[in-house]
Structure 1
Amino acid sequence: MTRVLVVRLDSDGDVLLSGPAVRAVAAGADEVVALVGPRGRQAAGLLPGVDAVTVWRCAWVDGEPPPVTRADTLAVVDALAALRIDEAVVLTSFHQSPLPTALVLRLAGIPRITAASVDYPGSLLDVRLRPGDPVLDPTVDLPDDLPEAERAVAIAARAGYPLPAGDDGRLAVALDDEARAQAAALLAARDVTGDYVVLHPGASVPARAWSPHRAAEGVAALAAAGHRVVVTGAPGESDLTAAVAGRDGVDLGGRTGFGSLAAVLAGARAVVVGNTGPAHLASAVGVPVVSLFAPVVPPERWAPYGVRRILLGDQDAPCRGTRARTCPVPGHPCLDTVRGAHIVDAVATLVHGE
């Protein structure tokens, strides 16, 4: 029996983008254990191919990192050793080094580790993929600006786990009957029975969020154009969603779990959202996305993947490529130049091809 650890220690969106790679590993392994950070636990629980989920708040990946201590590190090593893992596939973005993680995995006794690394790994990695390397399989290359989902698939393929025949490589989640029933009840209770558009105003990184007054303008403009607008948000965003929904939208902020949010998104004609987890959740349920994309990270890597999409926002703004978490430019011009009319036009194009 082959038990493979697939590692992605970031947020829900990053974990969703690793989904095709997880399916590739699952097609060739007996059991897949997902090792994720606490911000990615919800997404990991929805990924097809995942048999078990283990959570590690990794100090060199988490956005609000804990201190690195000997006791915590040894506790993680012991916990991973107890899983009796046969090999690990470490998935990282281009700006992350997998080597500190590989060291922990090696100390846990994992005998085979695959990752992409620019830096010399010594004996930390058994299989290494790096940009510009000649590869035996020309389909397993790692060019610059590869979408994150494809990067993860390339790493899995180099480990010996290609996507199986018939798998289109798109994002996917498994929704259970309970999540669907919860979503249906929430919508019915607010008399949302026909077509609707979802607007999700929040973002895990503030620099990637549309300002609340602009989001409220978007809701009003969509409603004036004849759309029923459902506003969604995490439990901590209920004040935001209430303000954004106003009198024109249906406020579901804080009322959905991750699974029921996926079900709400799955019923939408289109989703308007920033570069945050629900954008990738919308992609995973196959819904067109109007992406309010702040260029602090490259859209080539993190734009909604595998669905019809329209990107809005100034991709040449001064914040481009900074990976800033808080907008470094007064007035947030990359997104706040997007107005309600732009949203209406983008939704019309996605829904009607106008």
Structure 2
Amino acid sequence: MTVPLDTPKTITVYGATGYQGGPVVRSLLKNSAFRVRAITRKPGSEAAKALRELGAEIVQGNGWNKEDMVSAFSGSWGAYVNTDSDGSCFWDPNSPTEFDLGRNIIDAMIEAGTVKHLVYSSFIDSSAFTNGQAGIIAADMKAKIERYAKDSGYFETVCPLYQGWYMDIFRRQDYARALGGFPYFPDDDGFRTLRVPQWGADKDMALPWISLEDDYGDVVHGIFLEPENFDGRVIPVVSDIRTYPEVVELLQSVSGQKARYERVKDWKAHFGDSHHGRQTRSIYEYGRFTNGNFFGDTPVSTEVASYLKAKGAEARGKGPEERKLITMREWLEKAVVPQMRELDS
């Protein structure tokens, strides 16, 4: 069953001004079948103002405040939720966890009494998948929130998303310096060097990549067009599948600049012992243990994302060529090469 175009449905987005939530709001706003409500802690922020100008209803809300959440979700037919795993409030092992936050949000939706369809930014239960040998805390928390929503028995549909690695990180110059200079800053030999550990155990395995700006919002949009067809299905949100060496080769091809991949051997020391360093180490430990099996038992594929992207893009009026997932080559050419040229000039 698809959403009738003459009956606008309210979809509320938690994390609306974030990397994931922003594209979801922008895509849904292009479809008159939906009204979009955007939850933010800072309604006066530039990001919130920009969404308001596009037509979103902006509501102030803190995920820890249940009353805020009940009010924000009241009257909503659907909800998209992404809880931020990187919040400093989760760094203290004695503090509430991301699961506590997610549970509060889910309970508020249930109390609001109208949300039928939940799309949740989840991930594999890495500890369960590896028998406790290579767990990623953030992934396990998200998996636990997903189970809590399903086990509540309240929602008509719950659709979990597994995100690929963000192509968008290559736009950030602070990440470029942390990655060895790639793609912006040549080293002493004139190379844009990508210096990271190998993904996988025996050789460089392919990684799933997603462009949040180009594809993510339309994929989520596509789910809300036919939520009953995706209830309980894990959706790999993937634009393209590439190894690190392939990413480097593509940049070299589209930019005409020298680039290379250097595999970090002592990767545990490479990331250091900060909170984020330990979290990143745990991801690579998981990658080594599973030999690059990023989504566990869920195959890394663009098939479902391609279908949903086409549906979402079509619903917001895009032509056939703009309904396709972006490739890594296309993304680098569009998003990175112009910045490289500007920095080099």
The normalised TM-score by structure 1 is 0.35
Higher helix share: 2
The normalised TM-score by structure 2 is 0.36
